[in-house]
Amino acid sequence: MRILPDGVTRNTLTLYGGRALRAFADGFASLLLPVYLAALGFDAFAIGAIMAATMLGSAALTLGVGLTAHRYGRRALLILATLVMIGTGLGFIFATQFWPLLAIAFIGTLNPSTSDVSVFFPLEQALLTESVPPRSRTNVFAVYSVIGSLVGALGSLAAGLPELLRVGMGLGPLVALQAMFALYAILGLASYFLYRRLPRSLDSHAERVLTPLGPSRGIVYTLAAVFSLDAFGGGLVVQSMLALWLFERFGLSLAAAGTIFFWAGLLSAASFLASARIAKRIGLINTMVFTHFPSNLCLIALPFAPNLGVAVALWLLRCSLSQMDVPARSSYVMAVVTPPERAAAASITALPRSLVAALAPLLAGWMLTLSPFGWPVVLAGGLKAGYDVLLLLMFRHRHPPEEAS
């Protein structure tokens, strides 16, 4: 079975490589972040605040690069973002107080979720669209998502490395955790050298435009508003917060959590490939809605699970369905805007995934201090189900060019 889309180029493969490096880093960092912060003595509310800062900062950076990529160039901004990633890893090693960590979380690239809500996303999304013919657009985003999910799953397994370092090398708990943030910085350095391989012609002045958004402004802002509902729900159950809930509710170990999220990542990866095929049959909007809605019913049921086994089964079932909308959504946004607007459109529609969702971990942390039941999970499922219904009602008749013919 052919995995890579037709017409892939060296640039496509380079962008895939960058996604893989970040996915591995996000996979272990999203699980280790709450553990590290708890080891430093922070409570659930403070942990939620720091994770909210990571998402809020990502929102500001994502919007900034989307609105300036037409001026400074996408390659140049990708390389600059890798330097910020290196600084983030080093910052979490040397800072141990709340306010410095909050500042680093805001400025840096640390991601409390395995999904790509970082500054890299809008730049890569625009470049990927231009690296393949239109017929392969959904497939190229499906493979991009598969890589993120599979390598992110391996990163989740790597979250067990601190325990191995403690046992095998006799390192203290904090030092073992800080070693993983050093690895995060090293992966940022590898990304720096990888993105430097992209041709400078991607930033040629002939492709610059005066404004980031033009004729597609209306639909981009509408999509961003609708996506904000889904983003807020997703922010309540980012991997770091869900792991914290599992630790408190079921006494789950870090190694067991890494294994669970590894298998969740594998299921998500399989669903990405299925998404491209389903989209060819029923369309992008229908794919986004009819695969996403059942997954949210599983999410609502999760806190009512009587034991860990049932909870894990519901989570894995949810993960096998919930991510099918991701490549379809990316493809849809890129299809309904003009080529010069793609970086800005990707940035603005991705903005709610970090800006609006930035408030959600703070709310989730507060709710978990009141009750271990899992009310953030129930609320997340309800909001995300509402998003599905709204998306179908508003956009079921707005087709991308290849579906309108």
CATH of the domain at 312: 1.20.1250.20
Q: For residue 1, tell me if it sits in a domain.
A: no
Q: For residue 276, tell me if it sits in a domain.
A: yes
Judging by beta carbons within 10 Å of its beta carbon (0-12, 13-18, 19+), is residue 125 exposed, middle or buried?
A: buried
Distance CA 332, CA 304 (A): 35
Contact status, residue 325 vs residue 291, Cβ threshold 8 Å:
yes
Q: For residue 39, tell me if it sits in a domain.
A: yes
Coil/strand/helix, residue 3: coil
Helix (H) or strand (E) holding 274: helix 254-282
Vertex 270, ends 265 and 274: CA angle to 5°?
140
pLDDT at residue number 1:
45
pLDDT at residue number 206:
43
Selection from 223, 233, 218 nearest residue 349 by Cα: 223
Distance CA 98, CA 362 (A): 15
| Residue 91: domain span | 10-203+213-400
The total of structural domains in the chain comes to 1
Distance CA 15, CA 380 (A): 31
How does 5-23 read in b/e, with b if 16+ C-beta sit within 10 Å?
beebeebbebbbbbbbbbb
Q: For residue 3, tell me if it sits in a domain.
A: no
Per-residue pLDDT reduced to its tens digit, 120-173: 988 898 888 888 877 788 888 888 988 887 888 889 889 889 989 988 888 898
Distance CA 77, CA 282 (A): 36
pLDDT at residue number 113:
61
Coil/strand/helix, residue 239: helix
pLDDT at residue number 116:
59
Torsion of CA 77, 346, 401, 1, to 10 degrees: 80
- Tokens representing 275? 């998404």
Distance CA 151, CA 402 (A): 31
Q: Return per-residue pLDDT of the chain as tens, 405 residues.
A: 455 666 678 899 999 999 999 999 998 998 899 889 999 999 888 988 898 888 788 878 878 887 787 678 888 899 999 999 999 999 999 999 999 999 999 999 987 665 556 789 888 988 888 888 777 888 888 889 888 878 888 898 898 899 899 888 888 989 999 999 999 999 999 999 999 999 988 776 444 555 777 788 889 989 988 888 888 888 788 777 787 788 888 887 777 887 888 888 788 778 888 888 888 888 899 999 998 899 999 989 998 988 888 988 998 998 888 888 888 898 999 988 888 788 888 888 877 666 666 677 778 878 888 877 888 889 989 999 999 999 999 998 888 877 755
Q: For residue 97, tell me if it sits in a domain.
A: yes
Q: For residue 360, tell me if it sits in a domain.
A: yes
Selection from 110, 20, 64 nearest residue 358 by Cα: 110
- Tokens representing 131? 């690296």
Q: For residue 237, tell me if it sits in a domain.
A: yes
pLDDT at residue number 371:
79
Residues contacting 256, CB < 8 A, separation 6+: none
